[in-house]
Amino acid sequence: MWKRIYQDCHGEKSVSKRKIRPLVKRRPIMSSLKIRPISTGRFQAAEKSNFTYGMDQGVKIESPILMWFIEGASKRILVDSGGGDSAWAARYHHPMERSKEEDPITAVKMLGLSPDDIDVIVLTHLHWDHCFNNDLFPNAKIIVQEEEVHYAMNPLPCHALYYESQIIGMTPPWLKSLNRMEMIKGEKEIEPGIKLITLPGHTPGFQGVLLSLRSGRCMITGDTTPLWENWEGNAQGFRIPSGIHVSLPDYYNTYRKIESLADQVLPAHDMKVLQKKVYE
């Protein structure tokens, strides 16, 4: 009876006590795809426990707000579009610094592109710091999970500010580009070697982007792994969820899913990501 009660509460697959499983080593892939991380600003004193659930309360760290450009595809693809400017972030969220080079339009121009050149924006989810600048790229189709849109329209009160939700009197930034949104259900290959993967846990409709790179299968996991530390695991040998989440059972199942698909992950808010200009 107790086993049945536990399974009913947590789900059959979520009760596994498996520790971190080594990622599967795969043969090298012939691919021209590359990923370029783009900083759109930096939180100067981010609360680390927001990234590492149950750990490091009160510890403050510098943390980038990233978007990503996928190079080598037939279309020009951004993953996420960054957050608001420094004044907006300080007023409604957390103090943030943004250099001239980190302005989203300037950052794209530094890649030799104009904002009009972007064909597709994939949104991992609809928190303000990942979808704020969709309207700066007027020709881009915006791909998001339908389940994420449903939740963003009526989130739990504790999540409302992350979404800049109407339930607290704000206007969600993604609404400005609603007419260009393609809302999908489940996984989808959008280009050869580029697949959108559902990763619920941080939010209900979270999606990662799995790419076949020359170095192997790399997933932009975004806020599912805010820091590489989340993926490396804790002292007990388990991966670490974000402190911001909607479902811990889903979160641990998502980690097992990533293990089965990817050779490497790219986190959303780790300064170490920017130590490389390109991942290939």
Q: Mind listing the pLDDT tens digit for each residue in 94-128?
A: 999 999 999 999 999 999 999 999 999 999 999 99
Res 8 pLDDT > 60: no
Closest CA to 199 of 164, 227, 223: 223
pLDDT in tens, 20-63: 765 555 555 678 999 999 999 999 999 999 999 999 999 999 99
Q: How many domains does the chain have?
A: 1
Q: Is it the case that residue 262 has pLDDT exceeding 70?
A: yes
Domain assignment of residue 82, given as a range: 31-274
**Per-residue pLDDT band at 160 (split at 50, 70, 90):** very high
Task: Report the percent of the chain where pLDDT is more than 90.
Answer: 89
Residue 21 in any domain: the answer is: no
What phi and psi, each to the nearest 5 degrees, are found at residue 160? -60, -40
266 in any annotated domain: yes
Tokens 């597709």 locate to: 120
The answer to whether residue 133 is domain-embedded is: yes
Cα–chain center distance at 207: 7
Note whether residue 12 is domain-resident.
Answer: no
Query: Across-strand partners of 191?
Result: 194
Q: For position 16, what pLDDT does the model report?
A: 42
Q: Please, are residues 216 and 29 in contact by the beta-carbon 8 Å criterion?
A: yes
Within a domain: residue 16? no
Residue with tokens 């200009």: 277
Q: Is residue 180 part of a domain?
A: yes
**Domain membership flag for residue 2:** no
CA angle 203, 204, 209 (to 5 degrees): 75
- Whether pLDDT at 9 is above 50: no
Mean pLDDT of the chain: 93
Q: How far apart are CA 122 and CA 67, in angstroms?
A: 10
CATH, residue 122 = 3.60.15.10
Here the tokens at position 171 are: 């206007």
- Asked if the structure places residue 229 within a domain, the reply is yes
- Cα–Cα separations (whole angstroms), residue 157 to 154, 200, 205: 9, 19, 17
